[in-house]
Chain A
Amino acid sequence: DGGITQSPKYLFRKEGQNVTLSCEQNLNHDAMYWYRQDPGQGLRLIYYSQIVNDFQKGDIAEGYSVSREKKESFPLTVTSAQKNPTAFYLCASSIDLGVGAQEAFFGQGTRLTVV
C-alpha cells in the first residue's frame, strides 16, 4: 500500500538531547512537509521541500533541522535549541493537481515528549 510512514508513534527524550523523527513515503511525491501541532491548535509549518537536496524554512523553523537526500525520505531533527519541543509532529507529502495547487497526504504523526 502506498502511503507515508512516520516512526516512532511515541517518542520520549530527555531535555537537552537531539532527536530525529523519521518520515518515509512511497507515493513518488516531489514535495514533503513537516508540521507541528500543539494541543487544541492548528498546524504550523516547520520546513518543506519541493525536490531532493532542497528545502525551505517554514514559519517555526528555529530549533529544527531537516535533510532531503532521497525523494522518499524527509527526516526532522529536533535540536536542543528548540525551547518547547513537546508536541505532535506531522509529516506530509503532496501531489500537484495540475492547476497550480497541491493536495497533501499525511502520516500518522509522532508524539514527542521531552522530560
Chain B
Amino acid sequence: GDSVTQMEGPVTLSEEAFLTINCTYTATGYPSLFWYVQYPGEGLQLLLKATKADDKGSNKGFEATYRKETTSFHLEKGSVQVSDSAVYFCALSEGDSNYQLIWGAGTKLIIKP
C-alpha cells in the first residue's frame, strides 16, 4: 500500500539557518503531495502542495518539488524564523487510496533565537 516516510525529529536549528525536511513516498499511481504544518495546540494547516511530477509548491518562503524519479517531496526554506517552530507533516493522496490521505509521522522543528 501507499506510504509516506519523513525524517525523524526533532530538528533543531538556529534562526536564519537553511531548513530541509526529507519526505519520500511509495504509491501505486500518481499521487498529489502535500506539506501541512501544526502549531502547538492547533489543527493542521495546508502549507503547500504539488499535484504532478516536477511541480514546485511554495508558500511563506517554504518550497518543495515533486520528484517522481526519486519519489521525494522534500521541504526547504532558506532562512528559518523562531515563528516557524511547529510540527510538519508530509502527506499524499491519490485515487487508489479511496478518499484517504496517507500521512507521514510528522517532524518537529525547533528554531532557537
Interface residues of A (CB under 8 A from B): 4, 6, 31, 40-43, 45, 48, 50, 58, 90, 92, 94, 97, 99-109, 111
Contact = CB atoms under 8 A, between A and B. Distances in A.
A92 B103 CA distance: 13
A103 B93 contact: yes
B75 to A, nearest CB: 16
User: Is chain A's binding surface mostly helix, strand, loop or mixed?
Assistant: strand
Nearest to A49: B99
24 contacts: A40-B108, A42-B103, A42-B105, A45-B100, A48-B99, A50-B99, A58-B100, A97-B93, A99-B51, A100-B96, A101-B32, A101-B51, A101-B94, A101-B95, A102-B93, A102-B99, A103-B49, A104-B101, A105-B46, A106-B36, A106-B44, A108-B43, A109-B41, A111-B41
A78 B41 CA distance: 20
B32 A90 contact: no
Contacts of B93: 97, 101-103
Interface residues of B, number: 30
Nearest 10 Cβ contacts at the A-B interface: A100-B95, A101-B32, A106-B43, A101-B93, A42-B105, A106-B44, A102-B93, A108-B43, A42-B106, A43-B103
A97 B32 contact: yes
Contacts of A43: 89, 103, 106
Given A100-B94, A101-B32, A101-B95, A106 B45 contact: yes
Interface string B70-98: 00000000000000000001011111100
Contact of B99 (A4, A40, A94, A105): A94
A53 to B, nearest CB: 16
B42 interface: yes
Contacts of B95: 99-101
A41 B38 CA distance: 12
Nearest to B96: A100
A14 B36 CA distance: 33
Contacts of B44: 90, 92, 104, 106
Contacts of A107: 43
B34 interface: yes
